[in-house]
């Protein structure tokens, strides 16, 4: 994933051509959060193509990690918590490992289990 994401980000940030580029920005709600996506492109058509590429990658990752999608690997982990181990893809394993590392670096300000409690303070599966 990192290799592909890096390539996409490179294309998005620097475009394919080096002439008269300018930034283009879209604010979207994805994965239940606000995303401000900014790309540098030669024109609006090209910028929209790059933004669409970024949205497609975010959506792909959401399908992998969504706890609301019963078919996702994360849902399978939750359904089997305390019952049996679940084999997951290397991509998900690496993503969880990285998120835990970021949580440690930020002293918990970034929390992979952001939705672990509902509004009443009761624990929920994530």
pLDDT at 11 over 80: no
- pLDDT of 124 strictly over 50: no
CA separation, residue 92 to residues 2, 10, 37 (Å): 12, 23, 23
Q: Report the mean per-residue pLDDT for the chain.
A: 82
Overall average pLDDT of the 60-85 stretch: 88
Q: What is the pLDDT averaged over residues 75-84?
A: 92
Q: Which of 33-37, 64-68, 90-94 has the lowest mean pLDDT?
A: 64-68
Q: Decide if pLDDT at 61 tops 60.
A: yes
Query: d(Cα 66, Cα 59) in Å, to the nearest integer?
Result: 10
Percentage of residues in the chain having pLDDT higher than 70: 75
108 DSSP assignment: T
pTM, entire model: 0.62
Residue identified by tokens 């181990």 is 85
């Amino acid at each position: 994933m990192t290799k592909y994401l890096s390539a996409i980000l490179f294309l998005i940030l620097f475009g394919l051509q080096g002439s008269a580029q300018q930034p283009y920005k879209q604010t979207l709600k994805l994965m239940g959060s606000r995303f401000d996506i900014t790309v540098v492109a030669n024109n609006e058509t090209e910028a929209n193509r790059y933004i669409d590429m970024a949205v497609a990658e975010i959506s792909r990752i959401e399908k992998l990690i969504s706890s609301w999608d019963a078919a996702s690997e994360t849902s399978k982990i939750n359904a089997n918590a305390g019952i049996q181990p679940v084999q997951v893809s290397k991509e998900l394993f690496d993503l969880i490992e990285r998120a835990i590392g970021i949580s440690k670096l930020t002293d918990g300000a970034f929390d992979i289990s952001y939705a672990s409690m509902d509004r009443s303070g009761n624990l929920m599966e994530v």
